[in-house]
Amino acid sequence: MTLREAIDAVRFHRRLLAPAMAAVALAAGVVAGGVAMGDGLRGALAERTAARLGPITSAVIGPETGFREAFARNLAADLPGYVVPAYQRDGVLTPEGGGGRQVEVWGLDATVSQALRDPELLPPPGTVRMDAALATALKVKPGDRLVLRVSRPSALGRDVALSKEDDAIVGMSVEVGPLLASRWPADLSLRAGATPPDTVLVDLKWLQARLGVPSRVNRLLAAGGTAAHLLAEVKEHWDLPDVGLSVVQGAEPALATDRVLLDDDVTALAKGPGASAASVWFVDRIGHADLSLSYAFIAAVDTNDPGPAILDLLPPLDAGDIALNAWAAEQLDVRVGDTVSVRYPTFGSARELVWKDTSFVVAGIVPMEGAAVDPSWMPPIEGLAGRATCREWNPGLPVDAGRVTDADEAYWSTYGGTPKAWVSLDAARSRWASPLGLATTLRLQDVHAQKDHLAGAALRVRDALDPSRLGLQVVDVSALRASASKPANDFAGLFAGFQFVLLVTAFALAAMQSALVYERRADEIGVMRAVGWSSWRVLSAIGLESLLVIGAGALMGVPAGALIARGLTRGLQSVWSGAVAGAPVVVVIDVPRLLTASFLTALVAWVALVLMVVPLVRRPPRALLGGRREAAAPRGPAISAGVAVLALAGAVALALTAPRLGAAEAFFGVGALALVGGLAAVDALLRARGAPRRDGPMGGATRRPGRSLTVVGALASATFLVVGVGLGAGRAEEDPIVRWSGTGGYPLLAQTSLPMLHAMDDPAGAEAMGLPKGLFAPGSVLAMPRVDGDDASCRQLGSARAPTLLGVDPRRLAARGSFRFVDPPDHGWNALTEATDPTVIPVIGDDATVTWGLHLAKGDELTWIDGHGTSVRLRIVGVLSNTVLQGALLMDKAALEARFPGSRGARTFLLDVGSTQTATASAVLDRAFSDLGMSVVPTAERLHAFADVEDTYIAIFRALGALGLLLASAGMGLVLARTVEERQGELALARAIGFSSRTLRRRLVMEHVGLVALGLGLGIVSAVLAAWPVLTAPNAAPPVALLTGALVLAVVFALVALDRMAAASIDQVSWRVLARDRV
Amino acid sequence: MEAPNLALRDVRKRFSPDEPWVLEGVDLVISPGDRLAIVGPSGSGKSTLLAILGLLEAPTIGRVEVHGQDTAGLSEDARAAIRRDLIGFVFQEHHLLPHLTALQNVLLPVHADRRPSREDVARAESLLDQLGLGDRVGHLPGELSSGQRQRVAVARALIRKPKVILADEPTGALDPGRSRSLVSMLVDIDPEMAVVVVTHDPAVARALGTIWSLRDGKLEPADRT
Ligand SMILES: Nc1ncnc2c1ncn2[C@@H]1O[C@H](COP(=O)(O)OP(=O)(O)O)[C@@H](O)[C@H]1O
Ligand SMILES: [Mg+2]
């Protein structure tokens, strides 16, 4: 047959071929639509990743108080691209009506405007810029006023007891500027994870002034250039002030730190020549008999190191000895040999200072001259350094101005912070050394005594140190970015599985419809064979003709796919918005890709069609000419029954032993086995019924078991997708009341910048903090101390991504039944307190944090530097299902406080107020704790924010399931059409003798209802099996109503498809068939 | 004398083991130039016999020989090739392809192994003309009457100059005049071509000469009445 004739044939048979073409178009459209949605999803993820930090390739994270802007400028000059200096603090942004949110505040200067070529980007001082999403969440619009609360940066970190708390939070009234159009630069956070915190931009100078850090920045964002390049430049350009160190001139040059205690790395320099460690301590009083003096510095010097000039003036000092300066000796009226008492502070394991008393024997009195008068010994403590009089002192330590005498004032104005007493470093070590350290200064040797010896000493120190160990960290942004696009659950496999099920369904139906065409035209094949055409010749003729039809269908599949994807997306965003919470589902119409997908589907369908036509062509011609059909397959039900039993047993076994809940493999493994088993059972049933029966339900089904199976399978697969996703991804995960859910049964999550020292659910504590009586029942608040990860003091070795640590009371969580383990520890929550090895601390994290954030599993360890500066191993002993505490590892509270002394006092809270009271409670908390920088969010909202990638996937799964149902319903219609085709004569006769077409239609539909029921039933059973682990979890709450709705819809779908097809097919049955002699 | 073109040796046929035999031992030899008519009541198995003879169907028992060779072991495609080269078949239900014109339908057997040449087309047109369809060459079967379709089917059977023509009631839908001219055309077109016609029409049967009657599954010579 020539192409011409093939075209003629297609044209002649257009009415017969149109449904086949439509079926191919639908199948190709479904696959192309799936591709469009998949591309959209990938695109959205990629866009999200790209938006993350925009063009930034690497960054420097500095200490809280920052580094010099000059350092930033020098770096910028040597780097390609541009370098944006920034000052970043965490803050809470509260609109007038309350409801503050935690934000990252970024102070940026004109560099960023230049870099982005957007002169309007930077807000004028006093305004904040945010993106529309944050504005919506805060319910504000440009021009509205907000309060921005930011904790004041402190060189000490609030880990250290010396930091001051009274004005720790700076409150600023700000105006909302024009909203940012795109995610970048609204997405500047350097934190890892799929859900970056909200970000606001402010003017750099304005922020620096408000926070009291003029000319300091703590972030550098570099666009262009690698992290390695940036690191090299940092090492080249850094200087001591950039890490809070300075060299001051005293009797010899002295290295001071604005953090009071020197880092271990710095102290270690004292082990070498040229530097000697000393610890200068602020003591509360020194007393002798009735006399005492208040507030003095005592310097502990290393008497074994000949460096510092003061040693020449000091007597030999044993651990119990002290040397007073002449002024102090006079005040206390002591002589050599007298005993003095000293009251001094130590850092306990808690935040509060612990005061201790000790005594020393006076070993010598140092005259007020030479090296003994040297204010350079005093550490640059905030609130002391630079104050003109003692009355202006305001350090983090309690200072009572009433105890300051005129003599003290005179000493301060004459000698400044010159130590009033001297002890040996060993004496200090045994008294006030803490895990945080001991040395406060290094006395450097002034060997050369050159003119610029100070600079020389500084240079020597600088060269000996590694800035990246002192708080100047270089972060590779591309690694961070990669972590941002990782959804907390790996749905990629699931997505592929879904698309595959859909593809198989689509193509089975397309092939079935096309094959129907040629079965209808069997007599034509018979004629060709009868007049001597070889089977190959016949096949190629059919192949050519069907290629035209299927090709046309494939072409139509592209617009069909676009329409399907668009329609579904719209549906998702409107009809199902409740279920998907408006998760952004976009569609990418990439015509070449859709064409490819469409044509591949068509090609597969075409190959399947040809394979289905081969046996037809091979049949003896007379059988074809006579319109004689094959008899029912002779095979008995035994084989099918065997397959059914095996597959179903396998499915049950796999469901019961599925190692991890919701894993894609287990889900599809169980589902596929159950489907296969069920289909085999149906097949066995149909075969067991033997000879076809014409009436009643299943009458049409037993007639052609293969065809019925195809469509039952399609319907079952689609139902499986819809129900399986519904059950497996139920939103019960987010139910704020359900305790096993990710909320832990706590509706509210509160976080503060400063620790709360009282318990909110203790009546006395609540009263002390001014909370209304009975707001929180005892035991309803889980207050957790927190060690922030992922920030400037990044503690996890070898990685820029450190999780936050939270201290929890394991018994509390165990008793409450909060959260759900996907990989439970051996003894549940108690595993946190069962430390077998003192150097290993057990921790528990959620799936998102452990598996996807850290790429670890239960049993793995990570290494941290604890608050004592020693390295500890954190062993993951259990993995929770996703929780509202994503990004954190949970540790026993007592262990956390012991290991991280500065963490004392809770900063993260889970609050149970009963679901009805959440609004009231969050308003009360907002007001009561704004000075702690508290932000309160509903846990459900928080979880939702974590899950938006997953939500997008689930939304698409629902869409694919719906598509599957659509296809399967269409397939149902096709089966009916073929039944009608085969029984034309019967039906024509029925009409001829007066059956109304309505009656016939109803009978036909009824015959196929059994298939619909089978398909749905099989799909539901398979889905229940596949989702078994989730369903059997404690207090599982599958969304039954939603699913019932979906299934009712599916039944209606299928019935309508059947009815329409019955009506259309019956209309085509003509009396002519009666006139035809079919042998 | 050359080997007969077609021969049936003790052919028996039934359509399933539960059904009675349709043919119960038929022997038939068809030699070049033979003119046979097969008569018998409706349902006696005439069409079945013709189909077996035309290699469209296999016998349940017995042999079908082509030029003395048994065809039992042949593949379906080998049978198709024999049909192509040896046999012209006229079906009772004429079986024209509905999307092809009368001329294209006539040329269909040519397409089995080559593209029709100019001579093929000329021959097809001349055949149609001889059958009184000269003005219907471009019509689709749907646009032809039952009798016209039957004649197109006859032309299709003749297009490849078969050695044997097997026609199943080719005159069923024709008036007596057209029946006569159709039969005489079949008889006259090629003296070497064997003609086997299943018919109810005694006039047609007489025109052919030898008449066999199919009764109770057996073939027997019929009275020449
Ligand atoms: N494909 C078939 N399957 C079953 N029985 C058949 C088939 N074809 C013909 N028969 C039966 O064989 C017998 C002979 O039919 P047929 O050869 O068409 O008779 P005739 O052409 O003489 O009217 C009839 O009883 C018919 O029912
Ligand atoms: Mg017949």
The string of DSSP codes covering B175-201 is: -HHHHHHHHHHHHHH-TTSEEEEE-S-
Say whether both A453 and A601 belong to one domain: no
Domain total of chain A: 5
* Both tokens assigned to A117: 């070529």
What pLDDT shows up at residue A579? 40
d(CA A294, CA A175): 47
Question: Which residues in chain B are contacts of A1079 at CB distance < 8 A?
Answer: 47
Q: Which of B54, B77, B89 is the closest to A534 by Cβ?
A: B77
Q: Are residues B109 and A532, on separate chains, in Cβ contact within 8 Å?
A: yes
More confident residue, B172 or A890: A890
E strands, A397-531, are 421-424, 441-444, 473-476
| Cβ contact A717:A505 at 8 Å | yes
Residue A927 falls within a domain, yes or no? no
- What are the two backbone dihedrals, phi and then psi, of residue A423, each rounded to the nearest 5 degrees? -135, 175
DSSP category for residue A109? -
Which positions in chain A touch B42 (Cβ < 8 Å)? none
Q: How confident is the model at residue A946 (pLDDT cuts 50, 70, 90)?
A: low
Q: How far apart are CA A661 and CA A1036, in angstroms?
A: 13
Find all residues with CB under 8 Å of B114, minimum gap 6, and list them: none
- Alpha-carbon distance B121 to B101, whole Å? 13
Of A13, A532, A618, nearest to B84 by CB-CB distance is A532
Collapse the DSSP code of A823 into the 3-class scheme (helix H, G, I; strand E, B; otherwise coil) and give the result: strand
Cβ pair A532:B81 closer than 8 A: yes
Assess B51–A contact: CB distance below 8 Å, yes or no: yes
Contact by Cβ (8 Å): A422, A278: no
A775 with A823, same domain?
yes
- Nearest alpha-carbon partner for A723 in A1011, A967, A1047: A1047
How far B79 CA lies from chain A's nearest CA (Å)?
Answer: 8
- The answer to whether residues A131 and A180 touch, using CB atoms and an 8 Å cutoff, is yes
Strand locations in A550-659 (E): none
| Relative orientation angle of helices B176-189 and B146-158, to the nearest 10 degrees | 0
- The residue written with tokens 């190709």 in the block is A28
CB B139 within 8 A of CB B168: no
Sort A724 into a burial class: Cβ within 10 Å, 0-12 / 13-18 / 19+. buried
CA neighbor of A1019 nearest in space, from A730, A726, A722: A722
- Residue A658 has a pLDDT of 59
Burial class (CB in 10 A: 0-12, 13-18, 19+), A797: exposed
Residue tagged 């204010």 (tokens) = A375
Which residue of chain A is at minimal alpha-carbon distance from B52? A622
B81/A622 Cβ within 8 A: no
* CA distance linking residue A472 with residue A243, whole number of Å: 7
3-state percent breakdown (helix, strand, coil) of chain A, nearest 5: 50, 20, 30
CB contact under 8 Å between B47 and A1079, yes or no, is yes
pLDDT band of residue A1076 (cuts 50, 70, 90) is very low
Six token digits for residue A96: 């007038």
Instruction: List the single residue in B56, B99, B160 with the smallest CB-CB distance to A530.
Output: B56
* Residue A234 and residue A249 in one domain: no
Closest CB to A537 among B85, B98, B112: B112
A132, A203, B39, B57, B60 from B11: Cα distances, Å: 89, 104, 18, 12, 7
A186, A139: one domain: yes
Range of the domain at A224: 63-238
| Nearest-neighbour CA in chain A from B30: distance (Å) | 19
- Cα A325 to Cα A298, A338, A372, A407, B169: the distances in Å are 10, 14, 8, 14, 140
**Percentage of chain A modeled with pLDDT above 90:** 12
Residue nearest to atom 2 of ligand 1 (CA): B15
Strand partners, B221: B212
Q: Which residues contact A768 (CB under 8 A, 6 or more apart)?
A: A758
Closest CA to ligand 1's atom 26: B43
What is the Å distance from ligand 1's center to A694 Cα? 23
Residue nearest to atom 20 of ligand 1 (CA): B43
Q: Which long-range contacts (CB under 8 A, 24 or more apart) does A267-274 make?
A: A267/A437, A267/A438, A267/A439, A267/A442, A269/A442, A269/A461, A269/A464, A269/A465, A270/A302, A270/A305, A270/A439, A270/A442, A272/A464, A273/A445, A274/A307, A274/A444, A274/A445, A274/A447, A274/A460
The H or E element that residue B217 is part of is none
A559: part of which helix (H) or strand (E)?
helix A535-573
Contact A8 B89 (CB under 8 A): no
In sequence order, the β-bridge partners of residue A343 are A285, A357
Number of the ligand closest to the Cα of B90? 2
Residue A704, both tokens: 């052609």
- For strands A421-424 and A321-325, give the pairing: antiparallel
CA of A524 to the centre of ligand 1 (A): 20
For residue A351, the model assigns a pLDDT of 47
The pairing of strands A353-366 and A339-347 is antiparallel
pLDDT at A867: 57
- Cα–Cα distances in angstroms (integers) from residue A225 to residues A220, A471, A848, A978, in the given order: 13, 21, 31, 66
Say how far apart CA A981 and CA A961 lie, in whole Å: 30
Q: B76 contacts in A (CB within 8 Å)?
A: 529, 535, 618, 620
Rg (CA), chain B: 17
Tell me the CATH architecture of domain B6-89+156-224.
3-Layer(aba) Sandwich (3.40)
Q: Are residues A664 and A812 in the same domain?
A: no
Q: Which residues of chain A neighbour B113 with C-beta distances below 8 Å?
A: 532, 537
- B127, pLDDT greater than 90: yes
Q: Tell whether the torsion through CA atoms of A243, A248, A254 and A260 is positive or negative.
A: negative
Residues in chain B: 225
Chain A residues in contact with B109 by the CB 8 A cut-off are 531-532
Residue A249, helix vs strand vs coil: strand
Provide the pLDDT for residue A373. 92
Residue A327's pLDDT is what? 95
* Distance from C-alpha of A393 to C-alpha of A1, rounded to nearest angstrom: 104
Q: How far apart are CA A1012 and CA A1014, in angstroms?
A: 5
Asked whether residue A598 is assigned to any structural domain, the reply reads: yes
Which residues of B, range 187-216, sit inside 8 Å of A by Cβ? Answer: none
| Average predicted confidence (pLDDT) for chain A | 78
* Interchain proximity B97–A524, CB inside 8 Å: yes
Any A CB within 8 A of B56 CB = yes
Count other C-beta atoms under 10 Å from residue A159's C-beta: 20
Q: Of A988-997, B9-18, B28-37, give the lowest mean pLDDT range.
A: A988-997
| Whether residue A688 is found in the same domain as residue A578 | no
Comparing A330-339, A643-652, A693-702, A1013-1022, the range with the smallest average pLDDT is: A693-702
Residue A819 lies in a domain: yes
Three-class secondary structure of residue A820 per DSSP? coil
Cβ–Cβ contact B139 with A under 8 A: no
| Range A563-591 burial, b when 16+ CB lie within 10 A, else e | ebbeebbebbeeebeebbbebbbebbbee
Q: Which of A630, A285, A631, A494 is nearest to A956 (CA)?
A: A494
Which of B108, B152, B160, B168 best tests the A interface by mutation, with the highest count of A CBs <10 A? B108
How do residues A455-479 score in pLDDT, each as one tens digit?
Answer: 778 888 888 888 877 778 787 877 6
Spatial strand order of the sheet with B69-70 comes to: B23-30, B6-13, B61-66, B69-70
Chain B: closest CA distance from residue A523 (Å): 8
Q: Is residue A1020 part of a domain?
A: yes
A315 belongs to a structural domain: yes
- Residue A694: the pLDDT is 44
Q: Looking at A634, A654, A670, which one is the last position of a domain?
A: A634
Q: How far is the CA of A628 from the centre of ligand 1 (A)?
A: 11
pLDDT in tens, A367-387: 998 889 999 898 887 777 778
Quick one: A67 and A178 in the same domain?
A: yes
- pLDDT for A598-634, tens place per residue? 888 888 878 877 887 888 888 878 777 765 444 434 4
Judged by average pLDDT, the poorest of A947-956, B44-53, B103-112 is A947-956
Task: Tell me how far the alpha carbon of residue B48 lies from the centroid of ligand 1, in angstroms.
Answer: 6
Specify the pTM.
0.61
Residue A400 sits in the same domain as residue A511: no
Quick one: which ligand is closest to B24's CA?
1
Query: For A744, which DSSP code?
Result: T
**Domain boundaries defined on chain B:** 6-89+156-224
Q: Which residues of A touch B (CB under 8 A)?
A: 1-2, 5, 8-9, 11-13, 523-524, 526-537, 618, 620-623, 625, 1076-1077, 1079
Question: How far apart are the C-alpha atoms of A500 and B109, rounded to whole Å?
Answer: 44
Which chain B residues contact residue A1077 at CB under 8 A?
92-93
Q: How far is A558 from chain B (nearest CA, A)?
A: 30
Which candidate from A533, A534, A621 shows the least CB-CB separation from B56? A621
Residue A1074 pLDDT grade (very low, low, confident, very high; cuts 50, 70, 90): low
Q: Do B80 and A2 touch (CB under 8 A)?
A: no
Residue given tokens 């059947």 in the structure block = A1058
DSSP state of B225: -
pLDDT band at A361 (very low <50, low <70, confident <90, very high): very high
d(C-alpha A389, C-alpha A411), whole Å: 10
- DSSP 8-state code for residue A1022: H
A238, A262, A284 - which closes a domain:
A238
Secondary structure (DSSP) of A115-181 = HHT-TT-SPPTTEEB-BHHHHHHHT--TT-EEEEEEEPP-TT-TTSTTS--TT-EEEEEEEE-SPBS
Which of A527, A537, A614, A619 is the mutation pick for testing B, counting most B CBs within 10 A?
A527
From ligand 2's centre to the CA of B46, what distance in Å?
6
Do A147 and A132 sit in the same domain of this protein? yes
pLDDT, one tens digit per residue, over A516-563 is 777 777 888 888 888 888 888 888 888 888 888 888 888 888 898 888
Nearest ligand by distance to the CA of A1078: 1
Asked whether residue A295 falls in the same domain as residue A215, the answer is no
Same domain as A849, residue A960: no
**How confident is the model over A887-907, as a mean pLDDT?**
79
Mean pLDDT estimate for chain B: 88
What is the torsional sign of CA A820, A730, A490, A572?
negative
Running DSSP on this structure, what letter comes out for residue A801?
-
Residue of B nearest to A1077 (CA): B93
How far apart, in whole angstroms, are the C-alpha atoms of residue B133 and residue B139? 10
Chain A residues close to B95, C-beta within 8 Å: 523, 526-527, 530, 625
User: To the nearest 10°, the Cα dihedral for B185, B190, B193, B199?
Assistant: 10
Q: Closest approach of chain B CAs to the CA of A532, in angstroms?
A: 4
Show the ligand 1 pocket: residues with CB < 6 angstroms. A 626, 628, 1079; B 15, 22, 40, 42-48
A455 and A506 part of one domain? no
Out of B91, B99, B113, the one facing A12 most closely (by C-beta) is: B99
Q: Is residue A919 part of a domain?
A: no
In this structure, is the dihedral angle defined by the CA atoms of residues A476, A478, A479 and A484, taken in order, positive or negative? positive
Which H/E stretch holds residue A291?
strand A291-301
- The alpha carbon of residue A623 is apart from the nearest alpha carbon of chain B, in Å, by 8
Angle at A17 between CA A11 and CA A18, to 5 degrees: 95
Q: What confidence score (pLDDT) does residue A823 get?
A: 79
Sequence-ordered strand ranges (E) for A767-887: 781-787, 804-808, 821-823, 840-846, 861-865, 871-880
The bound ligand whose nearest atom lies closest to the alpha carbon of B93 is: 2
Query: Which residue of A lies nearest to B77 if distances are taken between CA atoms?
Result: A534
Ligand that comes closest to the CA of residue B57: 1
Q: Is the dihedral of CA A609, A612, A614, A619 positive or negative?
A: negative
